[in-house]
């Protein structure tokens, strides 16, 4: 039995009082102060961890004004605040141990668009890809590109002055900001925009500025004017110019305009709360061409930088062989393999991805032709290490290449072992002509420490992302972390560059004076003093006010590893799914039609994401370790469980006191309960964070202290009782689906919309389709006597699952009919429980036993050498993943195919040539809505279904959808009904709305059940559609 975890960091009294009074001040946003919420914003995509005091989620600029003005009261003047956006920073920019103000949850609206003048006004929490999705129908886009564009907020981009691919043409975020509305620490609203330098002070008096706003404009105008020569002469001259604070570009090139906005961009929340921005937009290029140039060494790819600059491309992205090899092992590679073909005898050790984009097709064709001629000449002369190149002008293909490049960032974090490539010196920038020589020295530095690393980046801008692999749980490697940081600072300075060329400063502000010099560094401090004299905004970042005795965060500030190393190594290994989370935040993807993570998308709560849940479990394990819980008690081992009376009594007592005694475990449980167990995270997350697995581990341990709800026992035993009920389906349906039963189930076990058993049952439906199956025992006897051989035998076994066989039996019967129609002989195996629900609910000991029984049975069947095929993806994939995890070698090597996998094989083998048909353009297409577990674990499955339908002359279109919201029994649980409905509405309902339901198909039982629930009309399984047309 695990102990109660009652000792967690508490809020100080002043913060508690401030939060209480904030509610009384008509603050309309949300306030979070429990430990779980604070932990969810304690990390970003960096190595650091800072636990905040509380989190505020304002809903408007007025809310930000309220929270800052309240903070002026004498008793709260020591409180400090840190603005936060998407939390994708790689250097702790938005981390602090103060009050976090999260502008992403509610302040995420696009406020105004002017297509003619090409500008948009947005709130700070709008995600970059969200904005571009909105702008696309208008032929416009917001240009600064970055790898985290599907979850990075515009407020975060402004605060770090973000940039990425294409920066030579598109510049940085600050180059596209027309105006900003921000709130100062004293509660004043500050609106900034370009102001004419001529008669500057007169112009300022005419603007709607507070007294402080006017002072800021006057003082910074005067001082930057005076220091102009020094700024131009002493700061590094780079495309990725130095920001935080941008002393150079506060004046435009001709100095005819002054723009205080430039001081705010790149300020990382240290000067003001940036709430709204007016952004400049560009027309979407009509034509694009991508040239993937392949090299025999990464050095050759780097040394082509000057040549690439001469080519005048929009962008040149480079990737080394380490990153490419990681991509090849991920599901993302299947989408780009034909765009990056490789000769095994001449492997690709580096690539440059060169893009041309324009609305002038002739211009692009001329540029591409010139580059290709140069490449051909170099290849003919065996120069520059070029081994080939491939072109594509297909927009979808171009986006797939960039998706691979973006995901490569996260894939680096999935390296085997505890040493992981980490971001801390990863966005250095040097003049492109210095890049190759700089990297030679950089690599030599890392090689001296014997560190593996991956490299990718922007050759054209002289920015290369380098992530050395370190295990920061090893204190010696923390020292290595600091030493490398110090040395890379000097190395970048030597080559005329910066240690922060793209991702902002964060904890690296520690090195600021080295690049600005003493005079300009003091000027930054003066600007900080003007805006925030008492260092109350994101203290410890960028710089401190003059006369301040506070310090900047050191480069080796508190890290996640400082917490994680307290957990025994064997426990970390057991819960590696949670421990490996590096905070990359892909699970925050704004797109509702992407599969990961449905609970996060619908709630907007970071706790309900794979990252949030992993963070909680790591801290939960640390607190258990602190309570001297033995590692053996936290590591699952299949064993007999004898229930002791004293333990049972203690469980009852603990359960009765749940609402009276604080236990951090309850906060973890609440976050785990909203997981749908769709397993999208297990394949979509670059780190392969598998929440359903560590959720099961958590539930097993949690319920060693607390009683389980009756619902868990009902759900976990459904497989065992469904076969009995299916013998009299009408009888049991009368009791389970009546209004009385619905109400009773709702109140007693917390279940609703109970599914009806199939009528007639499967046994009767098989008779109707003429099934006369042979028994397994009969075949085994024939095999023993030598009367049976699997060779050239057109027989296959059907492995049943409880949902389809007992609640959607027609699908199984139709599959049998289809198999017979295709000339094969089906044999339906006797139903055996798989343990899926046991795993979902965390009955791990029971699951281990059930899995072993089923595995033994399927291994027995496998000895006959015939294909085993199943219908439902979730149950079938259980055999491939969870069975391996729980049974290890005892699982055996049986293989159960899904219907499309079997059909693909028999078509490939030429066994269905007699069924092949030509496409009929007069027929309406079919629309496939794939099960989320299937589409993520088997990403090629939808294409394979398309090929199968094409073989039979049918057109199948794949719909890109998120989770349906049912997820087994999740949507049947009363407390999840509203979330289940909202998840369905945000993706599936939208995609189904304008399509004929009779032409819509779904592979998952849960998905078909959810559609029937909300549309009052069922949809078919693909095999049923095939049966109709063959």
**Structural domains of the chain, with CATH:** 13-104 (3.30.43.10), 110-283 (3.30.465.10), 576-707 (no CATH), 718-1029 (no CATH)
Tell me the Ramachandran region of residue 1008: left when phi exceeds 0, alpha when psi lies from -120 to 50, beta otherwise. Answer: alpha
pLDDT band at 476 (very low <50, low <70, confident <90, very high): very high
Sign of CA dihedral 901, 902, 904, 909: positive
Edge-first strand listing for the sheet containing 54-57: 30-32, 54-57, 99-102, 81-84
The span from the CA of 919 to the CA of 678, in Å, is: 35
* Global confidence as pTM: 0.93
Return the CA Rg of the chain.
31
pLDDT over 80 (residue 862) = yes
Tell me the Ramachandran region of residue 1016: left when phi exceeds 0, alpha when psi lies from -120 to 50, beta otherwise. Answer: left
The span from the CA of 771 to the CA of 769, in Å, is: 6
Tell me the Ramachandran region of residue 846: left when phi exceeds 0, alpha when psi lies from -120 to 50, beta otherwise. Answer: alpha
Other beta carbons less than 10 A from residue 618's beta carbon:
23
HSE-CB of 791 using CA atoms within 13 angstroms: 2
pLDDT band at 865 (very low <50, low <70, confident <90, very high): very high
pLDDT over 90 (residue 967) = yes
Please tell me whether the peptide bond between 760 and the residue prior to it is cis, using omega within 30 degrees of 0. Answer: yes
Q: Which of 459, 470, 464, 512 is nearest to 489 (CA)?
A: 512
What pLDDT sits at residue 630?
Answer: 93
**How far is residue 699 from each of residues 41, 438, 626, 671, 710, measured CA to CA in Å?**
24, 51, 20, 12, 15
Average pLDDT value for residue range 928-953: 93
What pLDDT sits at residue 336?
Answer: 85
Other beta carbons less than 10 A from residue 28's beta carbon:
12
Average pLDDT value for residue range 681-704: 93
Sign of CA dihedral 527, 531, 536, 538: negative
What pLDDT sits at residue 640?
Answer: 65
Average pLDDT value for residue range 849-860: 98
pLDDT band at 1014 (very low <50, low <70, confident <90, very high): very high
What pLDDT sits at residue 30?
Answer: 97
Cα-Cα-Cα-Cα torsion 1018, 1020, 1021, 1027, nearest 10 degrees, comes to 150
Among the ranges given (627-641, 888-902, 933-947), the one the predictor scored with the smallest mean pLDDT: 627-641
pLDDT over 80 (residue 331) = no
- Looking at per-residue pLDDT, the higher value among 859 and 1030 belongs to 859
How wide is the angle at C-alpha 992 spanned by C-alphas 988 and 997, nearest 5°? 130
The span from the CA of 586 to the CA of 575, in Å, is: 20
What pLDDT sits at residue 251?
Answer: 97
Average pLDDT value for residue range 740-748: 89
Considering the chain, what percentage of its residues have pLDDT values greater than 90? 78
> Do residues 119 and 178 touch, judged by C-beta distance below 8 A?
yes
Other beta carbons less than 10 A from residue 982's beta carbon:
15
pLDDT over 90 (residue 104) = yes
Among the ranges given (278-292, 551-565, 789-803), the one the predictor scored with the smallest mean pLDDT: 789-803
Other beta carbons less than 10 A from residue 622's beta carbon:
17
pLDDT over 90 (residue 237) = no
Average pLDDT value for residue range 213-222: 97
pLDDT over 90 (residue 527) = yes
Tokens 């700061």, residue located: 235
The span from the CA of 994 to the CA of 233, in Å, is: 61
pLDDT over 90 (residue 145) = no
Among the ranges given (123-132, 706-715, 784-793), the one the predictor scored with the smallest mean pLDDT: 784-793
For 753-764, letters b (16+ CB in 10 Å) and e give bbbebbebbbee
pLDDT band at 319 (very low <50, low <70, confident <90, very high): confident
* Contacts for 990 with CB less than 8 Å, ≥ 6 apart: none
**How far is residue 125 from each of residues 62, 107, 132, measured CA to CA in Å?**
15, 5, 14
Average pLDDT value for residue range 626-638: 90
| Summary mean pLDDT of the chain | 93
- Looking at per-residue pLDDT, the higher value among 915 and 473 belongs to 473
pLDDT over 80 (residue 407) = no
pLDDT band at 710 (very low <50, low <70, confident <90, very high): very high
Average pLDDT value for residue range 917-937: 89
The span from the CA of 595 to the CA of 604, in Å, is: 15
What pLDDT sits at residue 641?
Answer: 64
Considering the chain, what percentage of its residues have pLDDT values greater than 70? 99
């Amino acid at each position: 039995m695990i102990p109660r975890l009652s000792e967690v960091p508490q809020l100080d009294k002043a913060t508690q009082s401030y939060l209480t009074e904030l509610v009384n001040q008509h603050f309309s946003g949300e306030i979070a102060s429990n430990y779980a919420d604070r932990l969810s914003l304690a990390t970003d995509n960096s190595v650091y961890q800072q636990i905040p005091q509380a989190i505020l989620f304002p809903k408007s600029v007025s809310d930000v004004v309220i929270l800052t003005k309240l903070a002026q009261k004498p008793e709260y003047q020591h409180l400090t605040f840190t603005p936060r956006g998407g939390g994708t920073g790689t250097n702790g920019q938005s981390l602090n141990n103060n009050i976090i103000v999260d502008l992403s949850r509610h302040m995420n609206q696009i406020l105004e668009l002017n297509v003619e003048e090409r500008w948009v006004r947005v709130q700070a929490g709008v995600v970059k890809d969200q904005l571009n999705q909105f702008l696309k129908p208008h032929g416009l886009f917001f240009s600064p590109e970055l790898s985290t564009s599907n979850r990075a907020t515009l407020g975060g981009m402004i605060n770090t002055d973000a940039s990425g691919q294409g920066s030579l043409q598109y510049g940085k975020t600050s180059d596209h900001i027309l105006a900003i509305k921000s709130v100062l620490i004293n509660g004043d609203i500050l609106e900034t925009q370009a102001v004419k330098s001529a008669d500057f002070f007169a112009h300022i008096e005419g603007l709607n500025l507070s007294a402080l706003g006017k002072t800021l404009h006057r003082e910074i105008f005067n001082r930057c004017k005076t220091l102009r020569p020094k700024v131009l002469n002493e700061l590094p001259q780079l495309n990725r110019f130095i920001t935080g604070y941008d002393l150079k570009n506060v004046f435009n090139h001709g100095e005819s305009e002054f723009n205080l906005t430039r001081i705010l961009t790149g300020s990382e929340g240290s000067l003001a709360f940036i709430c709204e921005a007016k952004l400049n937009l560009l027309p979407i290029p009509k034509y694009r061409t991508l040239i993937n140039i392949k090299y025999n060494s990464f050095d050759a790819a780097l040394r082509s930088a000057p040549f690439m600059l001469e080519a005048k491309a929009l962008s040149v992205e480079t990737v080394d062989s380490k990153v490419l090899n990681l991509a090849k092992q991920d599901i993302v590679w299947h989408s780009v393999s034909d765009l990056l073909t490789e000769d095994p005898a001449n492997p690709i050790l580096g690539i440059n991805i060169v893009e041309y984009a324009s609305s002038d097709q002739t211009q692009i064709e001329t540029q591409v032709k010139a580059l290709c001629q140069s490449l051909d000449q170099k290849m003919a002369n065996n120069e520059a290490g070029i081994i080939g190149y491939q072109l594509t002008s297909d927009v979808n293909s171009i986006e797939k290449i960039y998706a691979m490049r973006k995901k490569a960032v996260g894939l680096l974090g999935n390296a085997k072992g505890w040493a992981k490539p980490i971001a801390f010196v990863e966005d250095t920038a040097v003049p492109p002509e210095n890049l190759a020589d700089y990297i030679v020295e950089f690599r030599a530095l890392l090689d001296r420490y014997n560190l593996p690393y991956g490299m990718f980046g922007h050759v054209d801008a002289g920015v290369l992302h380098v992530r050395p692999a370190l295990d920061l749980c090893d204190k010696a490697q923390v020292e290595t972390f600091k030493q490398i940081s110090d040395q890379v600072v000097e190395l970048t300075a030597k080559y005329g560059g910066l240690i922060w060329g793209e991702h902002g400063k964060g904890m690296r502000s520690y090195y600021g004076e080295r690049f600005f010099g003493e005079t300009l560094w003091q000027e930054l401090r003066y600007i900080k003093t003007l805006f925030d004299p008492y260092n109350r905004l994101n203290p410890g970042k960028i710089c401190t006010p003059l006369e301040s005795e506070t310090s900047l965060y050191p480069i080796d500030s508190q890290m996640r590893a400082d917490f994680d190393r307290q957990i025994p190594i064997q426990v970390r290994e057991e819960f590696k799914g949670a421990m490996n989370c590096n905070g990359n935040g892909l699970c925050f993807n704004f797109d509702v039609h992407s599969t990961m993570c449905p609970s996060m998308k619908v709630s907007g709560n970071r706790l309900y994401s794979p990252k949030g849940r992993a963070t909680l479990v790591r801290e939960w394990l640390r607190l258990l370790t602190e309570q001297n819980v033995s590692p053996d008690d936290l590591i699952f081992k299949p064993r007999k469980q004898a229930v002791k009376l004293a333990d049972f009594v203690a469980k009852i007592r603990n359960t009765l006191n749940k609402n009276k005694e604080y236990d951090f475990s309850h906060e973890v449980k609440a976050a785990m309960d909203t997981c749908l167990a769709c397993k999208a995270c297990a394949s979509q997350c670059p780190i392969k964070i598998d929440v359903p697995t560590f959720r099961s581990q958590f539930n097993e341990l949690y319920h060693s202290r607390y009683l389980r709800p009756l619902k868990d026992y009902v759900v976990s035993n459904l497989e065992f009782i469904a076969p009995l009920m299916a013998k009299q389906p009408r009888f049991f349906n009368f009791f389970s689906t009546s209004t009385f039963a619905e109400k009773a189930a709702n109140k007693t076990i917390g279940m609703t919309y109970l599914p009806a058993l199939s009528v007639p049952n499967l046994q009767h439906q098989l008779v109707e389709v003429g099934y006369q199956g042979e028994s397994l025992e009969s075949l085994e006897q024939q095999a023993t006597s030598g009367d049976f051989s699997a060779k050239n035998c057109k027989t296959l076994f059907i492995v049943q699952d409880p949902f389809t066989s007992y609640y959607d039996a027609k699908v199984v019967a139709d599959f049998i009919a289809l198999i017979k129609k295709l000339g094969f002989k089906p044999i339906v195996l006797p139903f055996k429980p798989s343990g899926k629900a046991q795993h979902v609910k965390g009955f791990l000991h029971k699951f281990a036993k059930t899995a072993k029984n089923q595995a033994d049975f399927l291994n027995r069947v496998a000895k006959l050498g015939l294909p085993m095929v199943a219908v439902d993806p979730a149950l079938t994939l259980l055999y491939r993943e969870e069975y391996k995890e729980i049974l290890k070698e005892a699982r055996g090597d049986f293989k159960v195919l899904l219907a499309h996998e079997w059909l693909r094989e028999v078509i490939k083998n030429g066994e269905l040539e007699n069924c092949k048909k030509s496409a009929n353009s007069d027929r309406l297409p079919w629309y496939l809505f794939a099960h989320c577990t299937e589409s993520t674990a088997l990403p090629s499955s939808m294409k394979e279904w398309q090929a199968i339908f094409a073989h039979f002359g049918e057109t199948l279109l794949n719909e890109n959808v998120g989770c349906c919201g049912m997820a087994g029994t999740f949507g049947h649980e009363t407390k999840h009904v509203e979330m289940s409905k909202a998840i369905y509405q945000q993706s599936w309902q939208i995609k189904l709305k304008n399509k004929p339901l009779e032409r819509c198909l779904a592979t998952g039982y849960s998905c078909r059940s959810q559609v029937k629930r909300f549309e009052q009309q069922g949809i078919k399984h693909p095999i049923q559609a095939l049966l109709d047309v063959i």
